[in-house]
Amino acid sequence: MSGTEKSKNGSQHRVMLPGHTTIGILGGGQLGRMLTLAGTAMGYRFITLDPAKDAPCGQVARQIEAGYADEGAALELARQCDVITYEFENVDAGVAALLERESYVPQGSSLLYTTQHRLREKRAIEAAGVRVAPYREITSADTMQAAVGELGVPCVLKTVTGGYDGKGQRVIRDAAQALKAYEELAATGAELVLEQFIKFDCEISVVVARSTAGEIKTFPPAENIHVNNILHASIVPARVPADIQLEAQKLAAAVAESMEAVGLLAVEMFVAADGRLYVNELAPRPHNSGHYTMEACATSQFEQHIRAICGLPLGDTTLLSPVVMVNVLGEHLEPVIERTGAPDGDAIELGVIPKLHIYGKTEAKTGRKMGHVNLLCHDVEEGLQWIEQTTIWRNTNS
């Protein structure tokens, strides 16, 4: 593509070189912080927009302190930056349109529009020729009853917008529970979708990057363990057969290509007992399940995102070492810090190298993501054993 030629989603290919380029990030949480740390090492400057004083990203970048839907602040960000990205998907539509008009947003807004809405997202995944769990749009108590009959139980009712960490979902194990679940979620005012419950062997995710030049690279699939609907650990290589891993990478690339995504796209999937893959959700941003790449891959997901949006060649995604990433929630923070303040006999014995990342959040609330540890190991079972032996995550281990 030449200088300013536009692709289907309106994005353009421009090469944004370090030294001359300030990158604006909508959102100032840990994802923005890690993007900034990676991009700063590459010579880029960063400004974040976030309402929270002293946001994790604001500690390492300049910060405009304002709400995400504040159009005046968004305009200020557009004026001060050469290229704009975001670290969360629920970007206000008005702000997205304004930024596209006033600045350079290589990711465009069509991917946001699609991934902000589960039904649109499922249709886009299907359009890429990729399987999702059978689903029905739910618009009334009657369509709900009919859909439960068609899809069978168990099934899961979800709000189409605004859900995260399992919020806005009801699992229906018995047709008698259907109406109550419908009434509860319909009361939120959100549109609803009913999905067949996939009896999966495990959950995996693939982070794929597509650059403004159309180059695509996938990271190795991560096997994800959730506890209380929050990601607890990611295991790489995933403990699934090599052909399924390859298939997972291929279909993530197919989705990114079909949607003409720019930047990172995290593709969450279920691996069913028969080896079939079902895509559950997409996230058009760095993903918690991709944090393992920071030390375990030749290029981290954060560097890759910067490369993709700045029109640089994508980095090598080779896995350098088996790794287990474990999240550090508020309740784990103190013991983790204590543990890493002294020589770690267990780690030495197991041959595990723990690499600690803490996000700089001032308040350590229970269940709040405060950081993560990447455990570089010879075999993922040793990393898992280290987690067990520390007992720090014992009450959350599944």
Smallest gap from Cβ 227 to ligand ATP, in A, equals 11
| Least gap, CB of 165 to ligand ATP (angstroms) | 4
Q: Is 203 in the site for Mg ion (CB under 5 A)?
A: no
- Cα–Cα distance measured from residue 323 to residue 266, given in angstroms and rounded to the nearest whole number: 18
Q: Are 386 and 352 in contact (CB under 8 A)?
A: yes
CB 285 within 8 A of CB 186: no
In the list 31, 78, 95, 133, the residue contacting ligand ATP (rule: CB under 6 A) is 133
Task: Round to whole Å and give the CA distance between 152 and 158.
Answer: 16
Tokens at 128, concatenated: 């890429």
Task: Please give the single-letter amino acid code of residue 116.
Answer: Q
Using DSSP, state whether 220 is helix, strand or coil. Answer: coil
Q: Which of 72, 149, 152, 166 binds ligand ATP (CB under 6 A)?
A: 166
165 binds ligand ATP (CB under 6 A): yes
Q: Is 156 in the site for ligand ATP (CB under 6 A)?
A: yes
- Tell me the residue nearest to Mg ion as measured from the CB: 281
- CB nearer to ligand ATP: give 20 or 164: 164
Q: Nearest distance from residue 81's CB to Mg ion, in Å?
A: 30
* Nearer of residues 188 and 318 to ligand ATP, judged by Cβ: 188
Residues whose CB falls within 8 Å of the CB of residue 106, separated by 6 or more in sequence, listed in order: 11, 12, 14, 83, 85, 212, 262, 263, 309, 311
- CA-nearest of 328, 381, 375, 372 to 353 is 375
Which of 203, 281, 303, 382 binds Mg ion (CB under 5 A)? It is 281
Q: Which partner from the list Mg ion, ligand ATP, none does 151 bind, CB cut-off 5 to 8 Å by kind? A: none
Which of 27-35, 62-70, 202-210, 276-284 is the region at the interface with Mg ion (rule: CB under 5 A)?
Answer: 276-284
Torsion over CA: 59, 65, 69, 73 (sign): negative
Q: How many residues bind ligand ATP (CB under 6 A)?
A: 16
Residue 165 interacts, among Mg ion, ligand ATP, none and using kind-specific CB cut-offs from 5 to 8 Å, with: ligand ATP
Q: Which secondary-structure segment (H or E) carries 370?
A: strand 369-376
> What's the min distance (Å) between Cβ of 222 and ligand ATP?
13
Residue 173 in contact with ligand ATP, rule: CB under 6 A: no
HSE-CB of 107 using CA atoms within 13 angstroms: 33
Tell how far CA 97 is from the center of its chain: 23
Considering the rule CB under 5 A, would residue 121 count as an interface residue with Mg ion?
no
User: Does residue number 247 form part of the binding site for ligand ATP (CB under 6 A)?
Assistant: no
Using the rule CB under 6 A, give the single segment among 81-89, 93-101, 156-164, 362-370 that binds ligand ATP. 156-164
Q: How many angstroms separate the CA atoms of 262 and 80, rounded? A: 22
CB of 280 to ligand ATP, least distance (A): 5
For Mg ion, give the closer residue by CB, 86 or 270. 270
DSSP for 305-362, written as a single string? HHHHHTTPPPPP--B-S-EEEEEEEHHHHHHHHHHHTS--HHHHHHT-EEEEEE---S
Radius of gyration from C-alpha coordinates of the chain: 21
Contact 205, 223 (CB under 8 A): no
How do beta strands 369-376 and 353-358 pair?
A: antiparallel
**Interface pick for ligand ATP out of 6, 79, 164, 367 (rule CB under 6 A):** 164
Residues 193-232: x where in contact with ligand ATP by CB under 6 A, - otherwise, as a string: --x-xx----x----------------------x--x---
What does 347 bind: Mg ion, ligand ATP, none (CB cut-off 5 to 8 Å by kind)?
A: none
CB of 224 to ligand ATP, least distance (A): 7
Closer CB to ligand ATP, residue 245 or residue 280?
280
Binding site for Mg ion (CB under 5 A): 268, 281
Binding site for ligand ATP (CB under 6 A): 133, 156, 163-167, 195, 197-198, 203, 226, 229, 268, 280-281
